[in-house]
Amino acid sequence: QLMNLLLLGAISLPTAGMLVPYATFFAPPGRRGGSDGTVAKDAIGNDVLAAEWLKDHGPGDRTLTQGLKGDPTYLVVENDRTLATYGINALCTHLGCVVPWNAAENKFICPCHGSQYNNQGRVVRGPAPLSLALAHADVDDGKVV
């Protein structure tokens, strides 16, 4: 009887060890406390507070911040003076240059090779192969994440 228990233990422990990675793969991830996003930073490295940001930036404004997805990202102020639920990644999809917002022409124009994007980051003129990436933007405890 002792030998049967030892054999069962010798077989079941390695089998359970092999099944744990599969179980963790198929189990849905739980919510950790707080937000999982990266807090957006302004030009001098301070956290972007939504209320303060909206006081200083008018409708249609696109201002470069740091933090959303870890890349330079434009926060967008909607016409109703609310923060858009998305940010526009400022890296050109052609060669990765930072694309400045041209308010006079209402589009992004890449200084490296002249790619142009509309006010939502969609390609208007190449050589960029893809539109600018979007990052989800939300407000958590007053901070833009």
Consecutive H or E run containing 54: helix 50-56
- For the question of whether the overall pTM of this predicted structure is more than 0.75, the answer is no
Domain 50-144: give its CATH superfamily.
Answer: Rieske [2Fe-2S] iron-sulphur domain (2.102.10.10)
Instruction: Give the whole-angstrom CA distance, residue 51 versus residue 42.
Output: 14
* Tokens describing residue 138: 């939300």
Where do the domains of the chain lie? 50-144
Q: pLDDT by residue for the chain (145 residues), tens digit each?
A: 888 888 888 888 888 878 777 777 776 665 544 555 677 777 777 777 888 888 888 888 888 888 655 678 888 888 888 888 888 888 888 888 889 888 888 899 998 888 999 988 899 887 888 888 888 888 888 777 7
Q: Which two tokens stand for residue 117?
A: 């994007």
- 73, 87 contact by CB (below 8 A): yes
Token digits of residue 129? 């192969």
> Which two structure tokens, joined as six digits, stand for 41?
């930073």
Q: Give the residue ranges of DSSP H helices in 65-138.
A: none
